[in-house]
């Protein structure tokens, strides 16, 4: 599921919502994402891991904007023009992880 285009697009749209939180810093954005997906705040270790993941991918996407732009084009939904594409790509990576947690996926 992690790389399925539908899930990548869903994660990108989720990342867009995360980034549109007014005045939010990255800790608040991550807490918002967890509340939306899991109805709880992230544990300290989850917060640390995912914010490190964000920083790592942000640096990579800032150094490779064509890759960030490719990720922003996955799926049919349009990408908001007022968002920084590297930041959107980095948050998409984080939201992809959140959407693929066992806790998020319903299993029967």
Q: What is the pTM of this model?
A: 0.91
Q: Contact 97/33 with Cβ under 8 angstroms?
A: no
Residue 95's pLDDT is 96
The token duo for 52 is 């490190």
The answer for residues whose C-beta is within 8 angstroms of residue 95's C-beta and 6 or more apart is 11, 12, 14, 15, 18, 33
The answer for residues whose C-beta is within 8 angstroms of residue 86's C-beta and 6 or more apart is 58, 61, 62, 65, 68
Question: Which string of b and e fits 43-56 if b means at least 16 CB within 10 Å?
Answer: eeebbeebbeebee
Report which of residues 7 and 41 the model is more confident about.
41
pLDDT at 52 over 70: yes
Residue 2's pLDDT is 54
């Amino acid at each position: 599921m992690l790389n399925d285009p539908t899930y990548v697009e869903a994660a990108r749209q989720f990342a867009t919502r995360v980034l549109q939180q007014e005045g939010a810093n990255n800790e608040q954005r991550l807490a918002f994402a967890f509340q939306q997906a899991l109805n709880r705040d992230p544990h300290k270790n989850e917060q640390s891991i995912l914010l490190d993941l964000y920083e790592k991918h942000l640096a990579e996407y800032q150094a490779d904007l064509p890759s960030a732009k490719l990720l922003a084009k996955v799926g049919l939904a349009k990408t908001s023009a007022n968002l920084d594409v590297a930041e959107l790509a980095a948050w998409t990576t984080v939201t992809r992880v959140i959407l693929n947690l066992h806790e998020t996926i319903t299993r029967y």
